Amino acid sequence: MNAHPLVEARGLVKIFAARSGWFGSRGPGVRAVDGVDLTVNAGETLGLVGESGSGKSTTGRLLIRLIEPGAGTLRFDGTDLLGLAPGPLRRMRRRFQIVFQDSHGALNPRMRVGTLVAEPLAIHGIGASRADRRERAASLLEEVGLDRGVLDKYPHEFSGGQRQRIGFARAIACEPEFVVADEPVSALDPSIQAQIVNLMADLQERRGLAYLFIAHDLRLVRHVARRVAVMYLGKIVEEAPAGELYARPLHPYTKALLEAAPRRDPQAPPARVLPGEPPSPVKPPSGCRFHPRCPIAEAICSREEPLLLPIGEGRRVACHLAHR
């Protein structure tokens, strides 16, 4: 497996305009992503976890330029992705794709499955003819565990897990190197979740894919990712190799997420509810954004924003108290 950086983001910012009042006057804006640094290496899976509204999905879309950042830099395999004109960017898009959480909404209900899977091939001019692209689509469906006989069926004729397999077939059609998997199993039953996770691992082994695996379920991420980044209110607060993060979380928010994760072992202590609600991203707290909910916060935590700093080999944490 190659270990060179494939996706490199530095200082990514995304502020969504907010409107308020009867006449839609412009508000201060929602700071969905606020200075995010991330690297995804070729062939690896980076888990990105956090509560709903933490900015995970927005970060994933920024990494593949589905939405445009307000600030920051973004490189893909050494190329400045933000500096690409529309033509070169369109050609580059073959190299990265996304699989969405809502498999039903992501697939056009008026299109047959064969057409849906072949569509990326047609867009990028891959295949000598429509018949050739149809045959490629059939092979892709077989690769994700579906029979080629489903080519002429419609998305509503499939289960949620099967539709997610179709989504992966579409995503790998142009042989990308990087796939953003945006909560791809959160809407599925646990037994089906395991099947999709295994499919992702198989595709990664065969194709050398790199993933950004976005989730709020730390139990799942533990079995998927080599590294895990934890996001809170638009910022990365901790990043570490998966084994180290689960064995010794350093940020109080990471500890709280682990304590709140569902337990499968009936003998394990019950999950603890994460205290409080996340503050508004329109007006985040001063200092550390987690300090109003943090059980160990000190005075400095409300005054000064902690930097995301290295602590040990391959770890970063943004917490005043973790470095003591």
Work out whether strand 210-215 and strand 30-41 pair parallel, antiparallel, or are unpaired: unpaired
Give the count of beta carbons closer than 10 Å to the beta carbon of residue 198: 12
pLDDT at 103: 79
The per-residue pLDDT of the chain, averaged, comes to: 91
Buried b or exposed e, range 302-311, using 16+ CB within 10 angstroms: eeebbebeee
H helix intervals, the chain: 56-63, 86-92, 103-106, 113-123, 130-143, 160-172, 190-207, 218-222, 242-247, 252-260, 299-303
* CATH hierarchy code of domain 5-110+154-259: 3.40.50.300
pLDDT at 1: 44
Rounded Cα–Cα distance for residues 161 and 287 (Å): 42
| Structure confidence by residue, pLDDT tens digits, 103-148 | 778 899 999 999 999 999 999 999 999 999 999 999 999 999 999 9
pLDDT at 18: 73
pLDDT at 98 over 70: yes
SS3 292: helix
- Regarding predicted confidence, which is higher, 323 or 87? 87
Rounded Cα–Cα distance for residues 273 and 267 (Å): 18
Cβ 167 vs Cβ 116: under 8 Å: no
Q: If we measure between CA atoms, which residue out of 324, 322, 318 comes closest to residue 248?
A: 322
pLDDT at 208 over 70: yes
pLDDT at 222: 87
pLDDT at 25 over 60: no
Q: How far apart are the first and last CA of the chain?
A: 36
Confidence of residue 27 (pLDDT cuts 50, 70, 90): low
Q: If we measure between CA atoms, which residue out of 78, 43, 38, 9 comes closest to residue 226?
A: 43
pLDDT at 2 over 80: no
pLDDT at 219: 80
Q: With left for phi above 0 and alpha for psi between -120 and 50, is residue 79 left, alpha or beta?
A: beta
pLDDT at 263: 60
| Structure confidence by residue, pLDDT tens digits, 151-193 | 999 999 999 999 999 999 999 999 999 999 999 998 889 889 9
Cβ 306 vs Cβ 318: under 8 Å: yes
Tell me the average pLDDT across 47-55. Answer: 94
Give the count of beta carbons closer than 10 Å to the beta carbon of residue 216: 18
